[in-house]
Amino acid sequence: MVKQQIEKLLILQDRDQVVRRLSGQLDSIPQEIQTYESEIEAEKQALEDTKAMLQRLEVQRNDLEMQVGSAQEQINKYKNQQLQVKKNEEFQALTHEIELAEQKISDWEEEVIALMLEIDAESEEFSKRESVFDSSKSKTQNKISQLEARRNEVEGSLKEAEANMNESKAPMEARFLTVYDRLASRIKLPVIVAVENQKCEGCHLRVSNDSLEQARKGEELTTCDNCGRVVYLAS
């Protein structure tokens, strides 16, 4: 009597394990898809950031070149003024202004050279990343498509497994089903386990002589003294 119910419980437990395994797989898929989508997004963002930085560097360079240009014009004006001044002091003062402007031009030109080197290095890096972006994006999108296909597949299998599990509940006495549901909701499966060498196969601890005797008689459901799982004698 109990033996038959144990057999039914074991079938139910097997099917329950299949359901749980498939549910677990299904639960992890959205996270995996999200991870791949974030990878694409991060790479896209990195490209955009590099592009924006290149633009800023170009703006700086243009500004400096304009400053050099206007300083140059200023120098030309000073030189023209020098042709017109009469006093030596005024001439000297203009020479001083010209020297100051030339010094500024020289500093700015050095900055321009440093910027150009930086722009070259960043452009090279940008081109490298841009050239692999499309292919790596499509590879990642492939992985996402595979996961989506996998999700559909697992959803189908899960429906089937749930139907199988419910089917195995149908012929079972309500009180046994209640015991199973209660155990399975709070203890990690399996909750219907054999006793081997007087040890519970669930918690691997020794069951008491009384419990062992009760299991041997097989008149009622026996539970492990330690973990509360239903135990039965395998042989």
CB of 204 to Zn ion, least distance (A): 7
Applying CB under 5 A, among 19, 154, 179, 224 the residue interacting with Zn ion is: 224
Q: Kindly state whether residue 191 participates in binding Zn ion, applying the rule CB under 5 A.
A: no
Q: Which is nearer to Zn ion, 25 or 226 (CB)?
A: 226
d(CA 92, CA 71): 19
Residue type, 107: D
CB of 226 to Zn ion, least distance (A): 5
Residue type, 189: L
Applying CB under 5 A, among 22, 200, 221, 230 the residue interacting with Zn ion is: 200
Q: Which is nearer to Zn ion, 11 or 227 (CB)?
A: 227
What DSSP letter does each residue of 108-152 carry, written as one string?
HHHHHHHHHHHHHHHHHHHHHHHHHHHHHHHHHHHHHHHHHHHHH
Distances in Å between the alpha carbon of 217 and those of 2, 117, 204, 212?
10, 88, 22, 9
Q: Kindly state whether residue 221 participates in binding Zn ion, applying the rule CB under 5 A.
A: no
CB of 234 to Zn ion, least distance (A): 14
Q: Which is nearer to Zn ion, 75 or 230 (CB)?
A: 230
CB of 201 to Zn ion, least distance (A): 8
Q: Kindly state whether residue 190 participates in binding Zn ion, applying the rule CB under 5 A.
A: no
d(CA 228, CA 182): 11
